[in-house]
Amino acid sequence: MSELAIDVRGLKKSYGSFEAVKGVDLQVQVGEIFSLLGPNGAGKTTTVEILEGHRTRSAGEISVLGHDPGKSEKAYKERIGIVLQETGVNPYLTVAETIDQFRSYYPHPRPRDEILEVIGLQDKADARVKKLSGGQQRRLDVGVGLAGDPELLFLDEPTTGFDPSARRNAWSMITHLKELGKTVLLTTHYMDEAQNLADRVAIIVAGRIVAEGAPYSLMAERGGDTRVTFALPSGAPALPSDLGHDESGDRIVMSTAEPMRLLNRLTGWAIDNGVELEELSVARPSLEDIYLELTKDAEVNSA
Amino acid sequence: MSTAAMTLKQVRYENKAFWRNPASAFFTFVFPLMFLVIFNSLFKGTINIEISPEVFRKVNSNYFYVPAIGAFSVITATYVNLAISISFSRDMGTLKRIRGTPLPAGAYMLSRIVHAMFVCIILITIVVLAGIFFYDVDLPTEFLGGFILTVLVGGASFCALGLALTAIIPNADASPAIVNATVLPLQFISGIFIPLDNAPDWIVNISKFFPIYHLAQAMQGPFNPFDPEFKGNDLLIVAIWGVVGLALAVRFFTWEPRK
């Protein structure tokens, strides 16, 4: 087993009588992109802020890069980078000055030009922060998090509010961090983001981790049936009754644990009858479907 | 890098950013000068100033208003400036972000205080120079050291009080209103805008409890044309308030945005 960057056992956090985190275990390996997912109020932010050293814990053992974040040691802060949801940089400094300012806090900062390259803001080095677009500011936030050349980077919802192309750019930037050997703890509300970026994900609901693993193995384990969807042209003969189907608007939906077998029967029937299966699609349940299924009860409870 | 070097470097970034918001920088300096002109024009002539307890003498209003607006400037540059700007930094997540870096919390706070003191010194210099060139006030050469000490100790004390005040400011939008509510009434009853010679005792007794009265007194002392003096006792009371403010700030200061 490779080295652990984050090792959390039995983490608990209470606010008065409210138990926000009810015993979380979490192991993140060095060099891994690990994504923590969960609805608002599930204990996700509390967990991350305890790891960052912003909050104290009520119980549990934590080792992050061999440090106890609760001690708020300078030596620990020198090895991590934190990108919060709030921007928190001075709007009147330039991009280069902002990065240099934060670099000056660390013993072994990453060269400024390298940071600008990673975040794709080389052309904006001399622009004032307040003149940047929302996406550019968010990239600068990540740049500031990288100032100390951290071994572990905390990214809190790095692409919230991005347009689709800005999100793709951010994703390639985060993938690039992995190539640099960084460990990344990512929180996000976008399941496709976690599915695309994360080596492993954990889903936290009501203070407990309810599912954990690589996105694709989670999808395989918990995904359930594959959905086959299509439309039949008018006047088509009736579908073979043993295939079973639901109708959703003008779409026919079939669920199966054996998609290959079903498709073989279905397409065989269609060709034999000269019927075109319009807009045929085959979809495995996405991480989002699994997430929605797992968090359904929590949403109902909190509503 | 040593903590002192980190602090100084941080002060330079604060300073750079400060001057790049010209509207804010301009009014920080012009506001007290406006008051100097307005009050000197409204109450032109002779006014009574307190020479010693209960003893008043008529002097040219200039001798009252130059140090009084000086005291106002110290409060504006330190207490008002820090309480508002720190509230904004807290809401923007700047403080939380700094807290997650190896920069010691004390070094960061010190850099904010040092910068506020820097603004305070520039502002006092402008007010005193305006007094000398436009209002025929003499530079208090006899007690110049005492005057400078008053500005430094007074400024530092009001920095501490400004930091303490942020503990009761819920969000940045509320900060100007709360800050003004804490200083404006006291400035009216503490001999900053209006001399206290006709003030009823109860007003003076209230004002004597708070530090603004004593800062005004300590600023007035060296400028007194009859009997210039360094008012160490008043400055000591200001300093005690400062120490209490510091203790409250250390105890109750928060780095995270209030939600």
Tens of each residue's pLDDT in chain A, 303 residues: 468 999 999 999 999 889 999 999 999 999 999 999 988 888 898 999 999 999 999 999 999 999 999 988 899 999 999 998 877 899 999 999 999 999 999 999 999 999 998 888 999 999 999 999 888 898 899 899 999 999 999 999 888 777 888 788 888 888 988 888 899 999 988 888 999 999 999 999 989 999 899 988 888 777 778 888 998 888 888 888 777 788 878 888 888 888 888 899 999 999 998 888 888 999 888 888 888 888 886 654 543
Mind telling me how many Å the CA of A86 is from chain B's nearest CA? 5
DSSP-assigned beta bridge partners for residue A36: A187, A202
The pLDDT averaged over each successive group of 10 residues in chain B (259 residues) is 87 94 88 91 79 74 91 96 95 92 93 97 96 90 93 98 96 95 95 87 94 96 88 96 97 88
- DSSP 8-state assignment for residue A94: B
Quote the pLDDT of residue B226: 82
- Residues A244-266: tens digit of each pLDDT: 788 878 888 888 888 888 899 99
List the single best residue of A46, A101, A140, A156 to mutate versus B (max B Cβ within 10 A). A101
Q: Please report the beta strands in chain B, taking only residues with DSSP state E, as ranges in sequence order.
A: 46-52, 55-60
Q: State whether A104 and B256 contact (CB < 8 Å).
A: no
- CA–CA min distance B112, chain A (Å): 13
Spell out a b/e string for B152-176, using b for 16 or more CB atoms within 10 Å of the CB, else e: bbbbbbbbbbbbbbbeebeebeebe
3-state secondary structure of A202: strand
**pLDDT on residue B51:** 66
User: How far apart (Å, rounded) are the C-alpha atoms in residues B257 and B259?
Assistant: 6
What number of other Cβ atoms are within 10 A of residue A24's Cβ?
A: 25
Q: Which residues of B touch A109 (CB under 8 A)?
A: none
List all residues 6 or more positions away from A76 whose beta carbon is below 8 Å from its beta carbon: A53, A64, A65, A67, A68, A69
**Is A169 within 8 Å of A120 (Cβ atoms)?**
yes
Spatial separation of the C-alpha atoms in residues A31 and A183, rounded to whole Å: 4
What's the CA gap between B41 and B45, in Å, rounded?
9
d(CA A102, CA A89): 10
**A89 in B contact zone (CB under 8 Å):** yes
d(CA A298, CA A203): 12
Tell me if chain B has a CB within 8 Å of the CB of A85: yes
CB contact under 8 A, A93 and B16: yes
Contact B20 A80 (CB under 8 A): no
What number is the ipTM of this complex? 0.87
C-alpha pair distances (Å), B87 with each of A137, B120, B167: 21, 19, 9
Residues of A in contact with B17 (CB under 8 A): 90-93
pLDDT of residue B190: 94
